[in-house]
Chain A
């Protein structure tokens, strides 16, 4: 069990990327100090700990910084191997598969989600939505193959790929609400729709998944202030 003061996480409550290490730390049953950044201003500690990207999240383990959300999740898994369940699968092929889809989510799927809010005009909006739906269909297929009938991508417990995708569920709900859409449609992506409910209800997730109301308010604030969706 990590001693108090040994593990700190610099982050912000609305960020899905910050949620990732928080879920990982919860899964491992590790205590940590959450250092909340004020939106719009970067603290000295953040700039010092992540001089390369100047972004959250940053994990500080005995004052050594780890940056980039999925790199942090892997670090948590490897630094505390006997605490809690394994986050990455044990088989090398399954690990490669989980990493592949996590990279797809970050490089293709999540940017396509942000594309919806950014789209100007009906046609562009429809094209943006189609792209997200196409991605979800790929992920539905992946879920079927990877979970093999179990509740999560990781099997019986939440794993790396669950964390990589699940952190965006709050923002998916905000998008559904503001755009009048149903993205996690039971009819189109039944596996993912049920998985999403299980993920959000999990004890490692519940306390760190922001309420949709609060996120929607935050999104409105950002759009009003910057005229653009929140940065990735």
Chain B
């Protein structure tokens, strides 16, 4: 049976990257449909009427949205190269830390990136606390998934990319070797792993994009 797999995404979204990695790791043929960051197409509005956002995976005409939900769908539908562990407790911990990554780590790092001065200091302190927990999860492992890349590596993968982008733009060090030796090692291993390394959005496009986002945020603040 010819399966139709389409991914609606933007070129830079870390959420979309998760889905790209999962599809590539499993060797699934798919078509990528690039969406404009600011203006979503009618198709996206039809397939994701609740949030009108990407990424949206379309499998044989049926849409699935929300990147972590898409990851589980992909893992349950295509059994090769399993992403989640088999053991229920290990699966649970992977889900827990993925949610932690989105709710706490992403939030604090994003705040740190957008802010300045005391607010940035506070956000960075919070981010460090959260990163310390991830450092502990990595103990004794090459990847969060163990010997191989798994669900949690993919869920946290944006870290490998965006943290370095933010560090460059803000001239900061967020994930330093002294405090986070395991995370630093993981960032390198993950970034250069086969399949993973082929999917990164171009660094020279990401820098101006995030500089512009930061400037826009500051402009909005000073006009209120």
Chain A residues near B (Cβ < 8 Å):
52, 61, 64, 66-68, 71-72, 74-75, 78-79, 92-93, 95-96, 99-100, 103-104, 138
Pick from A72, A78, A100, A138: contact of B65, CB below 8 A.
Answer: A100
Chain B residues near A (Cβ < 8 Å):
50, 59, 62, 64-66, 69-70, 72-73, 76-77, 88-89, 91-92, 95-96, 99-100, 133
CB–CB A95/B76 < 8 A: yes
A71 and B95 in contact, given A93-B73, A96-B69 (Cβ under 8 angstroms)? yes
CB–CB A92/B77 < 8 A: yes
Main secondary structure of the interface of B (DSSP, over half): helix
Pick from B59, B69, B99: contact of A100, CB below 8 A.
Answer: B69
Pick from A79, A93, A95, A96: contact of B89, CB below 8 A.
Answer: A79
Known A-B contacts: A64-B89, A75-B88, A78-B91. Give 14 more (CB < 8 A): A52-B133, A66-B89, A67-B96, A71-B92, A78-B88, A78-B92, A92-B72, A92-B77, A93-B59, A93-B62, A95-B73, A99-B69, A99-B72, A100-B64
Complex Cα spacing A138 to B50, Å: 8
For the complex of A and B, 6 pairs with smallest distance between CB atoms:
A92-B76, A78-B88, A96-B73, A75-B92, A79-B88, A96-B64
Query: B56: shortest Cβ distance to chain A, in Å?
Result: 11
CB–CB B66/A52 < 8 A: no
Complex Cα spacing A104 to B73, Å: 17
Complex Cα spacing A100 to B63, Å: 11
Question: Which residues of B have CB within 8 Å of A138?
Answer: 50
Complex Cα spacing A75 to B96, Å: 11
Question: Which residues of B have CB within 8 Å of A100?
Answer: 64-66, 69
Residue in A68, A79, A92, A95 with the greatest tally of chain B CB atoms within 10 Å: A92
